[in-house]
Amino acid sequence: MDLICFKVEEWMVGVAYERYPSVLRTVESGYRPRSSANASCPNSPGEGTLARPLAGGKRMEQCPNCRGFRPQPAYYRGLAGQIPPAWPIQSGFRTDRWFPPVLSSVQQAQLKTAVQSPPATAGLELSNWNWKVVREYLGQRFGCWLCRSSCLSYLHRLGFVLKRPKKRLLKANEEKRKAFIALYGALQAEALSTGAKIFFVDEAHFWADADLRGKWVQKGVPALVDSTSPSLSEKATYYSGVCLESGEVESMEVNGNCTAESSAAFLRQLRGKYAQPLVVVWDNGPAHHGDAIREYLKTSGLNLRLVPLPGYSPDFNADEAIWDWARKEVSANVCLGTVAKVKEGIGQFFRGLIQRSEEVKSRCRTKLQAEAALLMSGKDNPISNTINAVPTVVSV
């Protein structure tokens, strides 16, 4: 039996040296593999795996549960224990196949700081960060040119994620925004005591072409949306107003563009439908000023107040969420083609909101409501000092 084992070992070592010279040079230097395979016939796929431990000095052992011989398995403590901590020639390679990062901790900190500012700050005349810009930055700064996956891995490792940004309007006056939060808290308290309704009002256009949004597609398949390229004149214009306390939504279709006359018409519609005192909050758009509105406000017993939002503060208008919601459900990735189909879809959407009042309340809530609630819950309430910071009736 010993003679047979010796002959098998001698044959396998010969095959290994003939077919795997580079592997055996590594084995002879001290490396021990962690896998095994049977070699049932010459030139089998597993003979190389079997030959490596034999060439490294391991003897064949008889398997207790099967016929024949095989080298010691990878999980055998004696074999695994002989794996060296690193390659003898190339330092830094470890037995668990983990490579140290290319960038040092200092370099990673510099990359993290650079990505938080526009590329121009780092000396790159480009508008936005992506993996190519990261690669260029690392190459110029550290002489290290990485591939796409490595650049993206470093961005994720440093805590960065890809998000679609929103505009930060630099012209917005922070003091006026804070004053309006206090004013809105007072309006809520007043509406609660008098039974008034607060409506956030805005207007929007809906075009017949598709409103492109993200869509799910199979990997490797382009995300395409069919379009008949309708004219820009194929559009529908609407007013809408949302009351967050009750979840009610009022809408009005407009023929043409929005003007002071159309705004006055929508105010009449609101006033005719709701008997309670009304507070209308809207922006300072051109359609919200004019002779038609001034004449309407002179109506005796109107019991309606117009409250202007601070400039450049669309995030305070709850009605903005209605328009985004409508586009998601009606025209997202769908080319309607004609203005008639647009009006049909938008009309159906507004009619369906009657049964979705709770969803309206949750979807249309903005940071204005959150900050006003936080302000009202404070012990030192500054509302009494700022109640007149923003006029409650806009000059029209």
DSSP of 272-303: HH--S-EEEEE---GGG-SHHHHHHHTSTT--
Domain count, the chain: 3
Q: 51 lies in a domain?
A: yes
Q: What are phi and psi of 7, to 5 degrees?
A: -65, -40
Query: Which residue type is seen at 164?
Result: R
**By C-alpha distance, which of 359, 337, 341, 334 is closest to 215?**
334
The residue type found at 303 is N
Q: Token pair for residue 301?
A: 């017993």
Strand 69-70 to 61-62 pairing? antiparallel
Within-domain flag for 168: no
Rounded Cα–Cα distance for residues 34 and 38 (Å): 14
Both tokens of 324, joined, read: 């985004």
Per-residue pLDDT tens digits of the chain, which is 396 residues long: 555 555 555 666 565 556 555 545 544 544 444 444 444 444 444 555 555 555 555 555 555 555 555 555 444 444 444 445 544 444 444 545 555 568 999 999 999 999 999 999 999 998 999 999 999 999 999 998 999 999 999 999 999 999 988 888 999 999 999 999 999 999 999 999 999 999 999 999 999 999 999 899 999 999 999 999 999 999 999 999 999 999 999 999 999 999 999 999 999 999 999 999 999 999 999 999 999 999 999 999 999 999 999 999 999 999 999 999 999 999 999 999 999 999 999 999 999 999 999 999 999 999 999 999 999 887 444 433 333 333 334 434
Residues 319 and 382 in one domain: yes
pLDDT of residue 167: 87
Residue 245 within any structural domain of the chain: yes
- Is residue 291 located within the same domain as residue 262? yes
What pLDDT score does 211 carry? 95
Half-sphere exposure of 80 (CA within 13 A, CB side): 9
Range of the domain at 130: 105-157
Q: Please indicate, yes or no, whether residues 193 and 295 belong to a single structural domain of this protein.
A: yes
In a domain, 179, yes or no: yes
Same domain, 133 and 214: no
What strands lie across the sheet with 197-207, from one edge to the other? 248-254, 235-243, 197-207, 278-282, 304-308
Residues 192, 271 share a domain: yes
CA distance linking residue 274 with residue 139, whole number of Å:
66
Q: Which two tokens stand for residue 286?
A: 């051109």
Contact 215, 223 (CB under 8 A): yes
Same domain, 145 and 214: no
Q: Residue 259, Cα to own-chain centre: how many angstroms? A: 37
With 0-12 / 13-18 / 19 or more C-beta atoms within 10 angstroms meaning exposed / middle / buried, residue 41 is exposed
Determine contact, residues 199/281, Cβ cutoff 8 Å: yes
Same-domain status, 153 and 196 = no
